A and B are shown apart, each in its own frame.
Chain A
Amino acid sequence: MFLYLVKRLLRSVITLFIILTVVFVLVRQMPISGYFPNYEKMSEAQIKNGLHEMKLDLPMHEQLFYFYKDLLTKGDLGMSRIYRNNVPVAEILAPKIPISIKLGSLSLLVALLFGLPLGVIMARNKGKFLDQLGTGYIVVIEAVPAAVYYLFIQLFGTELLGMPLINSPGTFTTSGNTAAWILPVLSMSLGNTAYYAMWIRRYVVDESRKDYVTLARMKGMSSGKILSRHVFRNAFVPMIQYIPTSFLNTVIGSIYIESLYGVPGMGGLLVDVVKRQDNAMVLGIVLLYACVGIIGLIFGDILMVTLDPRISLTKRGGNR
């Protein structure tokens, strides 16, 4: 098991290098005019000068060499040029990450707390009123674009519950005021709640048809006990794979919610810096996301093995 993890981590490092290299080459395909806000008015010498300053006039492999030299020897991701001029990328990202993680993990927690019981209740009342009610909720959340129902929640919160519409800059810190977090966390958790409810329902329904449930029932176990002791644990195994992925999404942040409520997190940061061609920032964020993604996948596998001892990551044919 330990050896397997080491091997897998080594392979991930290679993947990481490929990802960074591909993105590095891709961002350098962007139009030159995008690097200068007043491109039309600049003389050719100025443009040449500017490109030289950013090392963009060097051949691709040399640029790549300098990038990796800085990254590997000094752990330096470079300077942001446009988002905030001449500030190290790491320094920009450092305060934003915990805020997005707090928002995301709170909403994930809410989603699990509501979604799992909802799914189980739906499965136990399959085809009856409660199941149809839950299905209705899931379909509506899937159907109405998130951008729209977030707006309605904000509207409802500000008009009827008297929450402040615009939050002062200091509101969303990792320690700050709790009340302001309620609406963003709630809005963000709705989608995940529906998602978890839908899948846990599916898995509980599938598990309940298995023979061991019939056996447990024949032994005279109460259906509540069958659910909590047998069915739930088996139904939760495939779910566990989604949780690290959901956690990754929390680190990415939500562009809609963070811009609606003025949360200074990671949401939309990648979109913003890609559009403004801040190459160092793009690479920094891609590196961060790729790391979290890869670690998340490995972590999901470890969780799965811990929860279900029948699954083996190392033996062949273990999953038949």
Chain B
Amino acid sequence: MKHASVDRLEKSLSVTLEEMLASPHAFEPAVFSEQDVERTGMSNYSYWRSTFIAFRKRTFAMFLLCLVLTILVFTFVQPHLPGQYDPVLVNNNEMGLPLKNQQPNETFLMGTNNIGQDIWARLWAGTRTSLTIGISVAVIEAIIGIFIGVLWGYIRKLDFILTEAYNVLDNIPTTLVLILVSFIMRPGMQTIIFALSLTGWIGMARFIRNQIIIIRDRDYNIASRCLGTGAFRIILRNLLPYLVSVIMLRMALSIPGAIGSEVFVTYIGLGLPATIPSLGNLINTGRSLMMSPNLRYQLIYPTILLSIVTISFYVIGNAFSDAADPKNHT
């Protein structure tokens, strides 16, 4: 007894199912062709292109994405522009005295700091450092976190041991890890990226684990398992594509998160040395001058830039995660 839908399909294709299966091309993937679309309902839907189209409609997020890219490019271009000062150079006047705490003026666009360094140059060098730290940490965190999180969530035998390991690792003070890392490695960008990734992946792994547990026993996965699909293929083809939008959101948020951690780490005195300007350095130097109203500009400029970067990643992440959800595709 044939199903009615098979009947309909056969009529629309004007061949019977037996004929189709007998044909030597029966198991070759069909190629997209404009004429056949109407008859068979096959479409040239591409996930990433639809995501991109949906994202492009969010004008505000698009604007912020361009803004962040411009800032990123500008941090690399700025040192090569004419008339720029070196971010670590102490500027002296004719008498050889440092030009301390100069208000913003024509020579120093954003003034100088308390030892006479140009804040404009330090701001861009600092943004470059902080963005590099943020993006590197977010990527490393995502790679390690997804790998461990998937194992933790999908393989039931590992759940107990990894949960206990999580409880232990989560309770080791971050400060202790940071100090030990800075004791073993020389202070610098690599060290701080390493240290922040070392403590940051744990949260990502837990997040992925919770997501995997929620979807691992959905009917489509049980169906796959019944058909004999291996765990590795289920993870790659069934689970991870489903999580793309939340993973992207989480990554977009962990970039400003890592930048914020850098500010905190500098605050407790374990950050980058003063010779490498970063937003953390700048904000901390600014903080100490907060009580004298005419020097507040030293805190306000880096804070504004940091806020712009953070808000941008926040909005872009949310818009992208909406766009990556196939329910929102047209």
Contacts and interface: CB of A to CB of B under 8 A. Distances in A.
Interface in A1-57: 11, 14-15, 18-19, 22-23, 26-27, 29-31
Contact of A22 (B168, B310, B314): B168
A92 interface: no
A15 to B, nearest CB: 5
B227 interface: no
A162 interface: no
B173 A275 contact: no
14 contacts: A15-B167, A19-B167, A23-B171, A31-B183, A139-B314, A143-B256, A144-B306, A145-B260, A255-B267, A255-B268, A274-B179, A275-B175, A275-B269, A275-B270
Contacts of B306: 143-145
Contacts of B256: 142-143
A294 interface: yes
B28 interface: no
Interface of B: 164, 167-168, 170-173, 175-177, 179-180, 183, 217, 256, 260, 263-264, 267-270, 283-284, 287, 290-291, 299, 303, 306-307, 310-311, 314-315
A30 B311 contact: no
Interface of A: 11, 14-15, 18-19, 22-23, 26-27, 29-31, 139-140, 142-145, 147-148, 151, 155, 255-256, 268, 270-271, 274-275, 282, 285-286, 289-290, 293-294, 320
Contacts of B175: 270-271, 274-275
B283 A148 contact: yes
Nearest to A274: B175
Contact of A286 (B171, B283, B314): B171
B307 A30 contact: no
B314 A148 contact: no
A313 to B, nearest CB: 14
A192 B132 CA distance: 29
B168 A145 contact: no
Given A151-B290, A271-B175, A286-B173, A143 B311 contact: yes
Contacts of A270: 173, 175
A172 B213 CA distance: 45
4 A-B pairs with the lowest CB-CB distances in the bound complex, closest first: A143-B310, A274-B175, A290-B171, A143-B307
A122 B143 CA distance: 35
Contacts of A29: 180
Given A23-B171, A144-B303, A147-B287, 6 more contacts: A18-B168, A26-B172, A139-B315, A143-B307, A145-B263, A286-B171
B287 A148 contact: yes
A145 B283 contact: yes
A26 B176 contact: yes
A19 B311 contact: no
A275 B269 CA distance: 9
Contacts of B270: 275
B303 A148 contact: yes
A86 B299 CA distance: 41
B287 A142 contact: no
Nearest to B270: A275
Given A15-B164, A145-B303, A282 B171 contact: no
A15 B168 contact: yes
A18 to B, nearest CB: 5
